[in-house]
């Protein structure tokens, strides 16, 4: 039984983890345990019974599952509301529990009621048994007649075994330099990570991993989790004044308010978390499996090798130039040709056209049909770039509906890249964009859409809001999800890519509609190594789109640039007209090699052997689920000679089975993992080593 009840306590178990909740002596709903699954129900400890202390109540010391702002407690709460009469204190009492079975997936629902006001909170816990993850979210319901204003409603507070000196791993970066891994010890107080940019952001990611300071890729207790949300979010890691450590995660409460009328319910997005004693590598693989098995719309479908013409032609696109590129691309083994920005009405530069989603009459006098026919005729699928949430002031859409953008009437409408943001919280905007894109997808044979979002918000006003204008932050994201999901439902064959000026919208919320993510606008291979390593902490390789472009051409060998991109969902984005025969031939042979290892790269288990974030000589390995085949990539950027390069110890192989490591002979899995192999490389060299089980 993944979920069972014992003595007004509840135990949630997955294959390897246990999570226990209970009512403490004061009636508070407290976390009792989160860690390795224990053999017997009585093994799970009872709730702690903290002693009272001057200056605050015991609740301040309790590991409450969903603390509300109430009484003399000063830890960071999950819920803060204002009642109609101005009262801003929320006293939640346990009311009832229910265990549901939804097609084999068990869910625990714990209901809490305010002691006086008709406010009900339902805490949902879903057990993903084989994936070793627990998914949590909350519903806040107004059971009365008077409105309630929600000022904060996080998805979860996660508690760690008693102690301080935990270390937080998180991702940070910026446009062109996303997802760098940072690890820092938590000290008393709070460490806050967030996005206030309307999207997930390039700057931080709603992912965490906590350890006791000594976990490695392969061993050590790691508690980890995400928020499945593509808008403003906040993560608060708090080490309290009594040395307990907790982490809250949810929609950002900054500039947020939600007016909950009588009878209405507000649901938070999900926070999904797990525990492993096997280090950061295992934590990533748990998330990778979950993303592929449970989230991605097209699940385990292998992603095609694509060509994207953006870096080659930028806005200067037309039918002949694209067909010319397509003819070269197909000879290299490309399977999907993607036309990027520049194809639509009056889009000659970035100053016009966004919003007018029909082909430019000068560049494509016969519509997109001629190009698509040519691409399909060559045996490739066709894909297209759109940026549905945006509008240029110089567009027919803006001229007709200047009130549709996010703005304050008395403030300037700050442009970034000469564009403004359509208010996707508005149903009329959603309907308009659904209509436009539905027509595009109905009229044309489109297999792939790159959905871009190239600016952050400013002046976040919604003048015609029917109610509380600060609901914008949440309603906007639900609007994006609705438009995207509606189009996906109508055109289920389309594979969608989430792009936001590179990796600005990478999260487990968007992966319910998008199968791939554009990792970064930075396509320079040596910089990409670190970005990709950070990205892999959360996302599997099939989600990580990686193109070989002309960045670094003449400096970094083509083979290295390919090897870096072959670690994800391979694409090519260079100007093929400038590639000479030897470059095209080498590309064709590397694309063929990629296709041979694609299933295990995209769908296998990833082992980060030596981190490029720490070393100029790095290695990453992919192993298929059956442990019969593996691919090892080794990279050296720049190390002054004479260099002592490290031995590489493989991972993920059967101990007693024999494996042939290309160029190194046949030995047992145990030998390759314990004795390892030495892969000598010069500066700016890389190597792909294939590994096959022989018996």
Smallest distance from ligand GLA to CB 10, Å: 45
Q: How far is the CB of 485 from ligand GLA (least distance, A)?
A: 22
515 near ligand GLA (CB under 6 A): no
By the rule CB under 6 A, 290 interacts with ligand GLA: no
The residue among 68 and 517 lying less far from ligand GLA, judged by its C-beta, is 517
- Cα–Cα distances in Å, from 552 out to 180, 549, 620, 659? 20, 8, 22, 36
Nearest-angstrom CA–CA distance, 123 and 521: 39
CB of 203 to ligand GLA, least distance (A): 16
Q: Which of 452, 507, 515, 605 is catalytic?
A: 452
Binding-site member from 34, 207, 518, 633 for ligand GLA (CB under 6 A): 518
CB nearer to ligand GLA: pick between 158 and 343: 343
Closest contact distance (angstroms) between CB of 663 and ligand GLA is 37
Residue 585 annotated among the catalytic residues of the structure = no
**By CB under 6 A, residue 568 contacts ligand GLA:** no
Return the residue of 168, 198, 472, 499 that touches ligand GLA, per CB under 6 A: 499
By CB under 6 A, residue 603 contacts ligand GLA: no
Active site residue 452: yes
Which of 137, 208, 310, 496 binds ligand GLA (CB under 6 A)? It is: 310
Distance of closest approach, residue 527 Cβ to ligand GLA, in angstroms: 15
Please count the residues of the chain: 695
- Asked whether position 67 contacts ligand GLA by CB under 6 A, the answer is no
- 623 burial (CB, 10 Å; 0-12 / 13-18 / 19+) is buried
**Cis peptide bond upstream of 642, omega within 30:** yes
Closest C-alpha to 229, from 423, 480, 433 = 480
Least separation, in Å, of the C-beta of 308 and ligand GLA?
A: 7
CA-closest candidate to residue 653, choices 607, 603, 589:
607
Q: What are phi and psi of 77, to 5 degrees?
A: -90, 165
Q: Which is nearer to ligand GLA, 90 or 308 (CB)?
A: 308
Query: Hey, is 259 helix, strand or coil?
Result: strand
Q: Give the shortest CB-350-to-ligand GLA separation in angstroms.
A: 6
CA–CA distance, 113 with 111 (Å, rounded to integer):
7
Residue choice 117, 207, 357, 385 for contact with ligand GLA (CB under 6 A): 385
How does DSSP assign 49-79, residue by residue? -PPPBTTB-GGGGS-BSS-BS-SS--SPPSE
294, 367, 542, 547 from 299: Cα distances, Å:
7, 32, 10, 22
Do 159 and 34 form a contact (C-beta atoms < 8 A)? yes
Closest CB to ligand GLA among 319 and 340? Answer: 340
Please report whether residue 452 would count as binding ligand GLA according to CB under 6 A.
yes
Q: Which two structure tokens, joined as six digits, stand for 325?
A: 């590129």
Stretch that binds ligand GLA, among 162-170, 391-399, 478-486, 498-506 (CB under 6 A): 498-506
Task: Please pick, from the candidates 217, 360, 521, 624, the single residue that binds ligand GLA as defined by CB under 6 A.
Answer: 521
Instruction: Candidates 13, 341, 356, 545: give the one binding ligand GLA (CB under 6 A).
Output: 341
CB of 359 to ligand GLA, least distance (A): 16
Does position 360 interact with ligand GLA (CB under 6 A)? The reply is no
Beta strands 381-386 and 336-339, pairing class: parallel
Residue closer to ligand GLA by CB (options 387, 624) is: 387
Instruction: Count the site residues for ligand GLA by CB under 6 A.
Output: 11
Closest separation in Å from C-beta 233 to ligand GLA = 21
Contact status: 501 vs ligand GLA (CB under 6 A)? yes
Closest to ligand GLA by CB, 460 vs 502, is 502
Q: Which is nearer to ligand GLA, 2 or 355 (CB)?
A: 355
Structure tokens belonging to residue 581: 């025969």
Percent of residues in the chain assigned helix, strand, coil, to nearest 5: 20, 35, 45
CA angle at residue 461 from 68 to 86, to 5 degrees? 35
Question: Kindly report the CA angle at 600 between 597 and 601, in degrees rounded to 5?
Answer: 80
Q: Rule CB under 6 A: choose which of 114, 340, 360, 524 binds ligand GLA.
A: 340
Structure-block tokens of residue 262: 């009588």
Q: What 3-state class would DSSP assign to 145?
A: coil
- Are the C-beta atoms of 31 and 159 separated by less than 8 Å? yes
CB of 594 to ligand GLA, least distance (A): 21
Residue nearest to ligand GLA (CB): 341
Q: Does 454 bind ligand GLA (CB under 6 A)?
A: yes
3-state secondary structure string, 307-353?
A: EECHHHHCCCCCHHHHHHHHHHHHHCCCCEEEECCCCECCCCCCCEC
Number of H helices, E strands in the chain: 11, 36
- The answer to whether 450 and 338 have CB atoms below 8 angstroms apart is yes
622 is a site residue for ligand GLA (CB under 6 A): no
3-state secondary structure of 487: helix
Applying CB under 6 A, among 250, 279, 502, 540 the residue interacting with ligand GLA is 502
Q: What angle do CA 559, 565, 569 make, to 5 degrees?
A: 140
Q: Which stretch binds ligand GLA (CB under 6 A): 76-84, 257-265, 472-480, 494-502?
A: 494-502
**Active site positions, annotated:** 452, 521
Contacting residues toward ligand GLA, per CB under 6 A: 310, 340-341, 385, 452, 454, 499, 501-502, 518, 521
């Amino acid at each position: 039984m993944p979920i069972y009840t014992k003595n007004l306590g509840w135990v949630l178990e997955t294959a390897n983890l246990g999570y226990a909740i209970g009512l403490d002596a004061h009636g508070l709903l407290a976390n009792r345990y989160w860690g390795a699954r224990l053999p017997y129900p009585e093994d799970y400890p009872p709730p702690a019974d903290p002693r009272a202390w001057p200056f605050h109540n015991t609740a301040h010391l309790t590991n409450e599952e969903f603390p509300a702002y109430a009484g003399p407690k000063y830890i960071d709460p999950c819920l803060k509301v204002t009642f109609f009469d101005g009262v801003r204190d929320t006293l939640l009492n346990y009311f009832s529990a229910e265990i549901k079975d939804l097609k084999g997936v068990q869910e625990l629902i714990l209901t809490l009621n305010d002691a006086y006001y008709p406010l009900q909170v339902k805490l949902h816990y879903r057990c993903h048994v084989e994936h070793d993850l627990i998914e949590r979210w909350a519903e806040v319901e107004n059971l009365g007649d008077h409105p309630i204003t929600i000022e904060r409603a996080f998805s979860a507070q996660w508690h760690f075994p008693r102690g301080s000196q935990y270390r937080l791993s998180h991702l940070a970066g910026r446009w062109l330099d996303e997802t760098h891994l940072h690890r820092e010890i938590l000290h008393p107080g709070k460490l806050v990570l967030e996005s206030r940019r309307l999207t997930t952001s390039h700057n931080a990611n709603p992912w965490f991993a906590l350890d006791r300071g000594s976990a490695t890729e392969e061993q050590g207790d790691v508690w980890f989790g995400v928020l499945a949300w593509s808008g403003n979010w906040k993560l608060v890691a708090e080490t309290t004044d009594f040395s307990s450590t907790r982490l809250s995660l949810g929609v950002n409460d900054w500039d947020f308010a939600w007016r909950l009328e009588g009878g209405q319910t507000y649901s938070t997005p999900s926070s999904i978390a797990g525990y492993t004693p096997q280090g950061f590598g295992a934590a990533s693989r748990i998330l990778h499996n979950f993303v592929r098995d449970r989230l991605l719309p097209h699940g385990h479908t292998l992603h095609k090798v694509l060509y994207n013409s953006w870096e080659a032609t930028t806005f200067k696109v037309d039918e002949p130039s694209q067909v010319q590129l397509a003819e070269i691309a197909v000879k290299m083994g490309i399977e999907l040709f993607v036309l990027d920005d520049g194809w639509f009405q009056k889009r000659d530069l970035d100053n016009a056209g966004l919003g007018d989603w029909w082909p430019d009459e000068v560049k494509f006098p016969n519509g997109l049909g001629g190009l698509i026919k040519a691409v399909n005729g060559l045996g490739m699928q066709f894909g297209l770039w759109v940026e549905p949430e945006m509008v240029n002031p110089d567009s027919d859409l803006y001229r007709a509906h200047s009130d549709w953008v996010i703005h304050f009437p008395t403030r300037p409408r700050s442009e970034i890249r000469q564009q403004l943001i359509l208010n996707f919280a508005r149903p009329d905007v959603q309907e308009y964009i659904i209509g436009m894109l539905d027509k595009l997808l109905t009229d044309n044979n489109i297999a792939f859409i790159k959905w871009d979002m190239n600016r952050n918000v400013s002046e976040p006003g919604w003048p015609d809001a029917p109610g509380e204008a600060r609901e914008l932050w949440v309603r906007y994201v639900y609007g994006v999800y609705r438009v995207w999901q509606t189009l996906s439902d109508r055109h289920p064959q389309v594979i969608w890519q989430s792009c936001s000026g590179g990796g600005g919208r990478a999260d487990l919320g968007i992966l319910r509609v998008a199968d791939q993510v554009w990792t970064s606008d930075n396509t320079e291979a040596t910089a990409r190594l670190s970005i990709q390593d950070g990205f892999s902490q959360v996302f599997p390789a099939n989600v990580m789109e990686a193109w070989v472009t002309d960045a670094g051409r003449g400096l970094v060998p083509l083979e290295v640039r390919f090897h870096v991109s072959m670690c994800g969902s391979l694409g090519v984005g260079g100007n093929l007209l400038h590639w000479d025969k030897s470059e095209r031939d080498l590309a064709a042979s590397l694309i063929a090699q990629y296709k041979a290892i694609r299933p295990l790269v995209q769908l296998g288990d990833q082992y980060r052997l030596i981190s490029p974030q720490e070393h100029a000589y790095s290695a990453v390995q992919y192993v298929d689920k059956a442990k019969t085949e593996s691919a090892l990539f080794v990279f050296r950027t720049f190390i002054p000679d004479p260099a002592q390069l490290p031995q590489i110890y493989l991972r993920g192989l059967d101990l007693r089975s024999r494996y042939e490591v290309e160029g190194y002979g046949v030995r047992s899995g145990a030998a390759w993992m314990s004795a390892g192999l030495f892969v000598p490389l010069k500066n700016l060299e890389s190597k792909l080593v294939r590994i096959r089980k022989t018996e």
